[in-house]
A and B are shown apart, each in its own frame.
Chain A
Amino acid sequence: MTVLFGQLFTGVSIGAVLLLIALGLALTFGQMNVINMAHGEFIMAGAYTTYVLQQTITGAGVSLLVALPVAFLVAGTMGVLLEALLIRRLYARPLDTLLVTWGVSLMLQQLARDVFGSPNVQTRAPELLTGNIGLPGGLTVANNRLFILALALAAVAALTLALRLTPLGRRIRAVVQNRDLAAVSGIATSRVDRTTFFVGSGLAGVAGVALTLLGPIGPTMGTNLIIDAFLVVVVGGIGQLKGSVIVAFALGVLQATGEYLTTLSVAKVMVFVAIVAFLQWRPQGLFTLRTRSLA
């Protein structure tokens, strides 16, 4: 029973990590159809931001809290620069965008290597997040995992509310549903694109901050994550957030259960097989956006 609960919690927390790294991508890839291979490097930028802040601010707790908004701004700004300098010239040319952003990701990795050195760096976690909460029956829940779960849910909630309620959110949804009609209605689509990219990339930065609580910070950390992030968005379905949310947690639990019953490598294979089978059945992903757009 204890084990079952522990595994369920592990699965949910893997799902929370997947959700955090995929959320920004769900926005840029899902809503704008831009395949941004440098998304993983924005996560890396967020992680290094935490590291730099911890070097300057001594308190681990304070620096982590400060890192959340700062990493959002840093990664978001990088996203806007990428959008303004490269991607906006390549809209509707997905293959070129893929190659260009992949090149950018390699350059960013090398930049990180030059600035911070090849060996990975570490941050200290605040005392509050290193322990665990004991529940009756010998159950324990790790604080850092709880924090990441809360952060992921908060990010989803904030994003959903922003998309539903704010004028900007309405404009974003309008552009997603029908770009031409939105433009005709007087929406500055290019400005909306840039804002979307800022928010999507910024969320990658926030994911980077969260990941410092779990593992090391290194120049290549982004490449390990980008595939998982794309999987979540593709399986979840493009143009909707709820698909990504459900798929992130489902994959997390599937991974944890598979790993418990077999081994880590076999579990990874199981997850991939499940995804391939699912996409055979529903190539469009879990949820699709129904529009009257002809495209």
Chain B
Amino acid sequence: MTLFRGRRILAGAMTLVAAVALTACGSKTSDTDTAAGVSADTSGDTVKVGLLNSLSGTMAISEVTVRDAIMLAVEEINAVGGVLGKKVEPVGEDGASDWPTFAEKAEKLISQDRVAAVFGCWTSASRKAVKPVFEKNKALLFYPVQYEGLEQSPYIFYTGATTNQQIVPGLDYLKAQGKKSVYLVGSDYVFPRTANKIIKAYAAANGMTVLGEDYAPLGSTEFGTIVNKVKSSKVDAVFNTLNGDSNVAFFKEYTSAGLTAASMPVVSVSIAEEEVKGIGTQYLADQLTAWNYYQTTPGAANEKFVAAYKAKFGPDKPTSDPMEAAYVSVHLWKAMVEKAGTFEVEKVRAAADGITFEAPEGLVTVDGTTQHIAKTARIGKVGADGLITEVWNSGQPIKPDPYLKSYPWATGLS
């Protein structure tokens, strides 16, 4: 009996090997064959794209919505005939809020599923984990979340904001409001630490003082001491780079300590509409956020996006900046591929410069050198209905500057 079962397993394994071998043969007909790495399988009627987001763990609260937005864009593209005549077939993987898992799944999407591009990642830690995988395989990642800058991988397109499109305008806003001192609270990983380095350099050059700096491990829910320190420091404002669920515990503690937006405003860079819903508006009333897009951003493109999203995922589901950036990234990829006339990664990259898209946030333009996009910065205020309304914007799209080369105070940061 055991022997018989053993044989069956062996037979199964053989079939699998044969199938893999056949797929490998099929790839010969695909239009790419770079020296290193695996090329995308574009031999059939469809082209696969990878979706890499955390569907479980501490980051799931945020990343699930990004997955939904990518799916919406894929559907829209398929409804108008796909890309280069091929239907887009999404292959989803769960990064599980665990950085090594992200790297493993990225490798799987590239080598086994042979996708033409991957859309996803949220935390910088996950992006840093997958970066070598994409560079080794010469495959494309579209990263949809605001991040700490100081990075420019040839195989990553950054469709979220870099620091000069989000954090620097946020600081400019605080300065214009007459805030002289800030307290930095963040999760303990690469994004908040780098962002705070930039904030400290900005503060030193602009006559602001940083009265304190504290980090909590990702997923931490004990903020008694940090809030106590913030409160006793009597700062003018708090700059919050906490990520994920820690925000829930932080704002509950903040409110319990009697601190409000009127007495000590918090500017958050990782709290969008979806997170507001999760934290509860009772804890976030009138607090500030820095982004490039809000559900309330005016314009026909946004009305269409919001309506389509709500029709597909439910009327009570808000749209947010990372979702919009993810949605835009799929459309930008389509435009790049169509301009290049091929799915071949190097040609797609070469075609990227100057690609524009009428995005829900307004017109965005891809900058071929940095592989970032020009975006308008927007400061918003959380309302009682859970939506964020704009209180200030930069007027025009800000050219991406991931290494902050055009800011004299930032020399020495990179």
The chain A residues found within 8 Å of chain B, CB to CB, are 2-3, 6-7, 10, 13-14, 17, 113, 118-120, 122, 124-125, 130-132, 134, 140, 142-145, 213-216, 218-220, 224, 256, 259-260, 263-265
B57-A134 in contact (CB<8A) = no
Distance in Å from the Cβ of A127 to the closest Cβ of chain B? 9
Bound CA span A56–B85, Å? 50
Asked if A6 meets B228 with Cβ closer than 8 Å, knowing A125-B252, A265-B188, the reply is yes
* Shortest distance between the CB of A156 and any CB in chain B (Å): 21
| Chain B residue, CB-CB nearest to A224 | B219
A-B contact pairs, 20 of them (CB 8 A): A3-B228, A6-B231, A10-B224, A13-B224, A120-B60, A120-B245, A130-B282, A131-B258, A132-B257, A140-B258, A142-B253, A213-B252, A214-B249, A216-B61, A216-B245, A216-B248, A216-B249, A259-B225, A260-B229, A264-B225
Chain B residues near A143: list those with CB within 8 A.
Answer: 256
A132→B249 contact, CB < 8 A = no
Q: Does B203 contact A (CB under 8 A)?
A: no
Known: A215-B245, A216-B249, A264-B215. A256 touches B224 (CB 8 A): yes
CB of B81 closer than 8 Å to a CB of A: no
Complex partner residue of A120 from B61, B214, B256, B283, CB under 8 angstroms: B61
Contact between A214 and B221, CB atoms less than 8 A apart:
yes
Cβ-closest 8 pairs across A and B: A215-B221, A142-B256, A10-B224, A215-B249, A118-B56, A259-B225, A118-B60, A216-B248
Q: A6-B232, A259-B226, A263-B214 are in contact. List 9 more A-B contacts (CB 8 A).
A: A6-B228, A7-B225, A118-B55, A131-B256, A132-B258, A216-B61, A220-B57, A263-B215, A264-B214
B215: chain A residues within 8 A (beta carbon): 263-265
**Cβ of B368 < 8 Å from any Cβ of A?**
no
Question: Known interface pairs A132-B257, A216-B278, A265-B215. Does A144 touch B60 (Cβ–Cβ under 8 Å)?
Answer: no
**Which residues 229-280 of B sit at the A interface, judged by CB distance below 8 A?**
229, 231-232, 245, 248-249, 252-253, 255-258, 278-280
Write out the residue numbers on chain A whose beta carbons fall within 8 Å of the beta carbon of B249. Answer: 214-216
- B24, chain A: closest CB distance, angstroms: 34
Interfacial chain B residues near A265, Cβ < 8 Å:
188, 215, 217
User: Which residue of chain A is the closest to B232 with respect to CB atoms?
Assistant: A3
B64, A122: Cβ atoms closer than 8 Å: no
When each residue 35-72 of chain B gets 1 if its CB lies under 8 Å from chain A and 0 otherwise, what string results?
Answer: 00000000000000000000111101100100000000
Q: Which residues of B contact A140 (CB under 8 A)?
A: 257-258
